[in-house]
């Protein structure tokens, strides 16, 4: 793998990234996680401002990496991590908008699967429709940890859209009717890249806004809070 590193998007050399990576769309949230949870974090990436750090958490070597917004962006970073840096497990810690009326700001959704309007799966030339799903071991461990912490959480389907500002503002209601819990923008590419490379992935989201209730967190709250999902991720990876 050393002959393929650094990559065009990650400046780390082979061996500088752990085989367990926790990711966030916002590189400043990745920096926050590294500073809050890792012992002796060392920054290995600043290419395009997409910060990455490696350190230890309770004796485990873990890296934290930003991935940007949207399926194409996380698709690039997770592909390089899985295929060029030997990463075996990735957990995305992200924000999501609630479709389910029982979800409130700060609640956690564990993405068992992910629906999408993206065409990302077309590259695999499959003779049907691929269902992107999480690694069950990580999912079960995350649910057990959330249960032990006493936090409000739900396990189920996410929706990942390519459009943040969609032409039809009511489309979410169709997904809600199918039991989809919340919307984010990255999980399918993470899950598909994990499946294709034979590795593990899980998307953990904190509800930052609700399409049902019309409530929302501030940008600062999105960046600096959401510590419950972070604790879950670091504890189980």
Active site residues: 209
Which residues on adjacent β-strands are paired with residue 160? 116, 184
Residue 50 · residue 76 · CB < 8 Å: no
> Do residues 182 and 96 lie in contact, with contact meaning Cβ atoms separated by under 8 Å?
yes
Sequence-ordered list of residues with C-beta below 8 angstroms from that of 118, at least 6 positions apart, any chain: 71, 160, 161, 162, 188, 189
Containing 28, the helix (H) or strand (E) segment is: helix 27-37
Residue that is written with structure tokens 């996410």 in the block: 158
Strand-pair category, 39-45 with 52-57: antiparallel
**Rounded Cα–Cα distance for residues 222 and 24 (Å):** 11
Q: Strand 153-160 and strand 182-184: pairing?
A: parallel
**Alpha helices, DSSP H only, in 55-203?**
71-84, 136-149, 172-177, 187-197
């Amino acid at each position: 793998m050393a002959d393929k590193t650094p990559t065009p998007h990650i400046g780390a050399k082979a061996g500088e990234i752990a085989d367990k990576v926790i990711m966030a769309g916002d590189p400043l949230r990745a920096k926050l996680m590294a500073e809050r949870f890792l012992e002796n974090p060392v920054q290995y990436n600043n290419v395009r401002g997409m910060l990455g750090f490696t350190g230890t958490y309770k004796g485990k070597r873990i890296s934290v990496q930003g991935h940007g917004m949207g399926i194409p962006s996380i698709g690039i970073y997770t592909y390089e991590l899985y295929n060029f840096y030997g990463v075996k497990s990735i957990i995305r810690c992200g924000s999501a908008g609630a479709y389910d009326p029982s979800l409130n700001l700060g609640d956690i959704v564990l993405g068992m699967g992910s629906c999408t309007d993206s065409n990302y799966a077309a590259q695999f030339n499959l003779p049907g429709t691929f269902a992107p799903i999480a690694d069950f071991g990580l999912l079960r461990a995350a649910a057990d940890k959330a249960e032990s912490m006493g936090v409000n959480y739900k396990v189920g389907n996410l929706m990942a859209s390519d459009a943040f500002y969609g032409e039809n503002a009511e489309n979410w209601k169709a997904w809600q009717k199918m039991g989809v819990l919340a919307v984010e923008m990255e999980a399918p590419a993470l899950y598909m890249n994990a499946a294709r490379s034979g590795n593990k992935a899980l998307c953990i989201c904190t509800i930052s806004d609700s399409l049902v209730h019309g409530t929302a967190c501030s940008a600062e709250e999105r960046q600096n809070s959401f510590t419950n999902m972070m604790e879950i991720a670091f504890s189980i990876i």
